[in-house]
Amino acid sequence: MRAQDRKLLESTKFYEAVGGETMERLTRSAFVQLVPKDGLLFMQGDAPEFVSALRMGYAGVQMGTRFIATPECRASEPYKQAIVRADATDVVLSERISGIPVAVLNTPYVQRVGLRAGPLSRRLLRHPRTKHAMRGFYALRAAWQLKRASLDEKGAFDFWQAGRSVAGIHAIEPAGDIVRRFAAAAG
């Protein structure tokens, strides 16, 4: 996949993540038809959405959020329970992780630290000479913060990534059961 196609896909997923167009309407638009659907991965939360994506011609889906709520995932129990309890409206976009919007659960911790990068950071992220250094800094900090938060059993650092597909997650269940259910739905 070409770099510009990946950027377009990320923009499309971002637009859908913030409650924009549905996947079907986006794929009918000229905007998304620039990306070849046969190799496209789209985020999905439940089996009916998965089947819908396959019928529209997608080769597969990305289901990272779904597999957080499994016994096999090393994420903390508070993180898994937050995924199960969350609805799509509980997902917000935060620039504080990487300098660009990332979907996270809207927890008290996220509300306390805010969603936007500070004014100095925003300026450094826009400047041609400093933006790469700032992205590198954000990437290192994000890796440390997200790992610490995901493994924190006390739930003190509830800075948890999750997509709007949380709406389709209702229980912590084994990954094998999830895969079998999706495979059966695809028939």
- Tens digit of each residue's pLDDT (9 = 90 or more) over 95-121: 877 777 888 899 888 888 888 888 888
Q: State both tokens at 41.
A: 């991965």
In single-letter form, the type of residue at position 33 comes to: Q
Identify which has the larger pLDDT, 64 or 35.
64
Looking at the whole model, is its pTM more than 0.85?
no
pLDDT at 35 over 70: no
Residue found under tokens 């794929």: 27
Cα separation, 185 vs 170, whole angstroms: 17
Average pLDDT over every residue of 156-175: 85
Give the chain's mean pLDDT.
Answer: 75
Amino acid symbol at 45: G
Q: Is the pLDDT of residue 38 over 90?
A: no
Position 145 pLDDT exceeds 60:
yes
- What are the residue boundaries of the structural domains of the chain, listed by start? 3-65+178-186, 77-172
* Burial per residue of 124-135, b for 16 or more beta-carbon CB atoms within 10 angstroms, e otherwise: bbeeeeeeeebe
